[in-house]
Structure 1
Amino acid sequence: MRSLRREPPLNPDVLEEAAEWLMRLSDNGLSDNERAEWERWKVSSPERDRAWSRAQLLQSKLGGLPSSLAMSALDRPSNPERRAALGKLALLLAVIPAGWGSWKLVESGRWSSDYRTAVGQRRELTLADGSRITLNTDTAMDVLFDGQQRLIHLREGEILVQTAPDTASVPRPFLVITRQGRMQALGTRFTVRELGPRTQLAVLEGAVKVELAENRQTEPLIVNAGQRTDFSSQTFGALTAAGRYVGAWAQGMLMADKMRLADFVAELARYRRGFVRCDPAIADLRVSGAFPISDTQRTLNMLVQTYPVLATGHLNGYWVTLSPA
């Protein structure tokens, strides 16, 4: 079987065509002429052949078209709900094989975490001890308070923590754990983000003690206010300055100070369903300013109005490409 991950990205228009055919076939309503048209479409170009291979893989993984999309296939082509469903299906085809599992999770609604935010959502919590936590976009965490500890398990995403003094008769440590290690708050305010195989920590007030998950021989690292670091389960990264804009997302802002456009786009994409791509020709363009993360379309409009950038949308806005103006 050929590796889909190593192939170049498919044209979003072709993905939308494949999604359209998949939805139409799920209705079993093709006439003989339409079926012949579909057969001609599949072999008309290598890209369309690749796109249809992904459609077949999606069907085999899910055991058929997801129910919400199958119902949309019955609607008229101009129906807004059907168009939105078509865009979601095209996105799944873009990320197959990894993306199908995420769709199954969304479809079933089975979330095992105590607290979770969707893409683009933020949530503020006050815990039983008075500590406050803000969850950033696409974040999941568990909370366990008992007689020995106050524990936050960050499964994925990013949080801003403001600890409160423990009122228990025997004060309990406030801990945040990720797959990479354990962080103990020392009367503090800090952010934690799990990013792939590493955890990023930035301390705004107080200090945080960090222990690695799989290397207990290394001495714990104390990260003080104004510092940041990242770490894997085995090693610590360097201590650096936290920067002025750490935690700005909690106020709904993406702050940029001469940030590379490619890096800016990667951050913005966290808050937007779909894909945002940056043409390599403008990847090094420097961007500065305050941009709202609760309205990513407005942010894209601000970029176009301020910088020599053109934003082109596909798949009903689910796929956006930034290119030179």
Structure 2
Amino acid sequence: MNRPDTLDKKRRPDLDDPLQPFAEALRERVPSREALLAEGKAMTDSRRKRRNAACGGLLVLALSSAVWLLDPAWHTEDVQVALGQRQQLELADGSRVELNSGSHLIIEKRLRSRQLELRHGEALFTVVHADTPFIVRSQGVSVRDIGTVFDVRSDARGVDVAVIEGAVEVSSNRSAAVRLNGGQQLRASSSHFGDVRPVNVAALTAWRQNKLRFDGTPLSEVIADLQHYRSKPLRLADAQVGELRLSGEFDSNSVEALIGLLPSILPVSLARAADGSITFSKAR
């Protein structure tokens, strides 16, 4: 027969375990399995968010760097000058542009450069020094200013660049860069650069005083200059007539009168078509 105290011990074995109170206290201080799992999940989510934030920051930095390197135009201004008119502009940086008759200029606002595109016509640029480069593009040719006053003319002949003061660097995707200093000029296309020649500044800038100055200029060049003041085509019957040379100073506001005067100056005849075009032939 069991004694009562023995039965009581069998029902409550904790009465013989002196560490039991400490175990109970330890359970209260140590988190449960569920609490540990919840805390681990929270830490994992936090690390994932920090990693995503870091990746997002790197992506933004990469995109910003790419945009900076690409230097996109974020705003453009379109300027077109009517035939027989001239227009003067002052750019945001203080640089000045004077546009000749029939010129078309695109002014671009970019992140890290000052760029303009002369679609056709003629423009005289007086550039203010700045940390950002000043570039004029036309027909695949780029003119980079090195602190100067220069003239760019773009038409069917190509792109004529002339430096009045300072220097520019002329380049294209197919031709090595050429530096032009004050008093120098060249004719360029995207695939070919002509020889560097001296500039006749008075003749070059005569258009600013509504004048056209020619000094033994081939008629082919004269016709191309006159075309800037006329919407209807001027043509040469053959290359031989284009070799005739013209000298003199004429009023650019009276281009039609000059055209009518040419047969009395040079051995040429004019053939006027119904569409307003004129063809020059060698007089017989």
The bucket for the TM-score relative to the shorter chain is 0.5 to 0.7
Partner of 2:213: 255
What is the count of residue pairs matched by the alignment? Answer: 206
How far did residue 266 of structure 1 move? 3.0
1:125 aligns with 2:89: yes
Match of 1:209 in 2: 169
Helix, strand or coil at the partner of 1:249: helix
Compute the RMSD of aligned alpha carbons: 2.9
The reply to whether residue 185 of structure 1 matches residue 185 of structure 2 is no
Aligned with 1:270: secondary structure?
Answer: helix
Matches within 5 A, 1:115-264: 115-146=79-110, 148-166=112-130, 171-196=131-156, 198-214=158-174, 218=176, 220-244=177-201, 245-264=203-222
Q: Aligned in 2, Cα 1:183/1:262: closer, same or farther, shift over 3 Å?
A: closer
* Structure 1: gaps (5+ residues): 1-111
Give the fraction of aligned pairs with identical amino acids, expressed as a percent: 31
In the TM superposition, residue 255 of structure 1 has moved relative to its aligned partner by 1.2
What is the SS of the residue equivalent to 1:263?
helix
CA distance in 1, matches of 2:102, 2:196: 27
Q: Which residue of structure 2 aligns with residue 34 of structure 1? A: none
Structure 1 residues 268 and 197: alpha-carbon distance in aligned structure 2, compared to 1, 3 A threshold: closer
User: Against the structure 1 CA distance between its residues 279 and 208, is the aligned structure 2 distance closer, same or farther, given a 3 Å change threshold?
Assistant: same
Distance of 1:175 and 1:282 partners within structure 2: 37
Gaps of 5+ in 2: 1-75
Letter of the 2:183 partner, please give it: G
In 2, Cα distance between the equivalents of 1:262 and 1:162?
29
Q: Greater strand share, 1 or 2?
A: 2
Q: After superposition, where does 1:1-325 map in structure 2 within 5 Å?
A: 114-146=78-110, 148-166=112-130, 171-196=131-156, 198-214=158-174, 218=176, 220-244=177-201, 245-280=203-238, 282-311=241-270, 313-315=272-274, 318-323=276-281, 324=283
Q: Which amino acid aligns with 1:238?
A: D
TM-score (norm 1): 0.55
- Asked if structure 2 preserves the Cα contact closer than 8 Å seen for 1:160 and 1:250, the reply is no
Structure number with greater CO (CA < 8 Å, separation at least 6) is 1
Q: What is the SS of the residue equivalent to 2:224?
A: helix
- TM-score after normalising by structure 2: 0.62
2: CA distance between counterparts of 1:139 and 1:206? 24
Distance 1:313 1:155 in 2: 28
Cα distance in 1 for residues equivalent to 2:270 and 2:156? 28
Give the Cα–Cα distance (whole angstroms) in 2 for the partners of residues 275 and 230 of structure 1.
22
Change (3 A) 1:173 1:286: same
